[in-house]
Amino acid sequence: MAVKICGLTRAEQAVAIAQMGVSALGFICVPSSPRYIPPPAIAAITQQLPETVLTVAVVANPTLEALDSLIHRSNIKAVQLHGHESPAFCQQVQQHYPHVQIIKALRVKSKDTLESIPHYIPYVTRLLLDAYHPQQLGGTGTPFDWRLLQHLSIACPWWLAGGITPENCRQAIAQTHPHGIDLSSGVEVSPGIKDLGRVAALLKALGVDANPTPHS
């Protein structure tokens, strides 16, 4: 089970969470977010992380030029497209950056959202199914109706997001069977500041072992 902790802003927290055994760390590159972190600050953090950690830049409706600048300045391994990006745009990103993993986030409002999934599959590394909120793109702390995923077979790797906490993570996984989970506000003290005790509680609930020590 992959675990992504999103919305990191502090180097020491990113390093500590990586050492706890988390597989992916997300950095919010959407300027309107309270978790926003600029690309040079992301680069300063990512260079301190173990190679095994997937580093993810979260963006919304970027131009290819903006993505180019972000990818070159932030030293990340994956981009998470969290806006209204089309399958055609994902294809363009895939063609321009074959070495960068593409995570397409879909904010699940209703069954209709899920009908678009097959159109994205050829162009993404994985999907992230997150909660829909009319005013906020992400980090809402609210789960969507997981029953919408019942009887749905998704033909590519996908991660579940939206309102997951150390308390409900096992139920979320049992009910939806994702390949990974993504959390932000469920393990936070305040936007961008993580609660390491809650990250530890999450990993304990999931039975994830801490990394061996080469990076400690």
Q: Which residues of 151-186 are buried (b: 16+ CB within 10 A; e: fewer)?
A: eeebeeebbbbbbbbbeebeebbeebebebbbbbbb
**Of positions 160, 183, 202, 203, contacts ligand LARABZUK by CB under 6 A:** 183
Q: CB of 137: closest distance to ligand LARABZUK in angstroms? A: 4
112 has catalytic annotation: no
- Which part of the chain contacts ligand LARABZUK (CB under 6 A), choosing from 16-24, 38-46, 88-96, 138-146? 138-146
The DSSP symbol for 80 reads: E
Q: Is 199 helix (H, G, I), strand (E, B) or coil?
A: helix
Contact 57, 79 (CB under 8 A): yes
Any idea what DSSP says for residue 106?
Answer: E
Q: Minimum CB separation from ligand LARABZUK for residue 22, in Å? A: 12
Part of the chain binding ligand LARABZUK (CB under 6 A), chosen from 63-71, 113-121, 159-167, 207-215 = 159-167
Catalytic residue at 195?
A: no
* CA 30 – CA 13 distance, rounded (Å): 20
* By the rule CB under 6 A, 178 interacts with ligand LARABZUK: no
Q: Is 14 in the site for ligand LARABZUK (CB under 6 A)?
A: no
162 binds ligand LARABZUK (CB under 6 A): yes
Residue from 185, 194, 199, 200 touching ligand LARABZUK (CB under 6 A): that is 185
Calculate helix-pair angle for 64-74, 87-96, nearest 10 degrees: 50
Count how many residues are written for the chain. Answer: 216
Please give the single-letter amino acid code of residue 197.
Answer: G
Distance CA 95, CA 89 (A): 10
SS3 state of residue 10: coil
Catalytic residue, chosen from 6, 29, 90, 169, is 6
CB of 29 to ligand LARABZUK, least distance (A): 9
DSSP-derived secondary structure letter, 36: B
Least separation in angstroms between CB 191 and ligand LARABZUK: 7
In the numeric block, which tokens belong to residue 75? 């030293």
Among 89, 129, 144, 163, contact with ligand LARABZUK (rule: CB under 6 A): 163
Binding site for ligand LARABZUK (CB under 6 A): 6-7, 26, 28, 30, 33, 35, 58, 60, 82, 130, 137-141, 161-164, 182-186
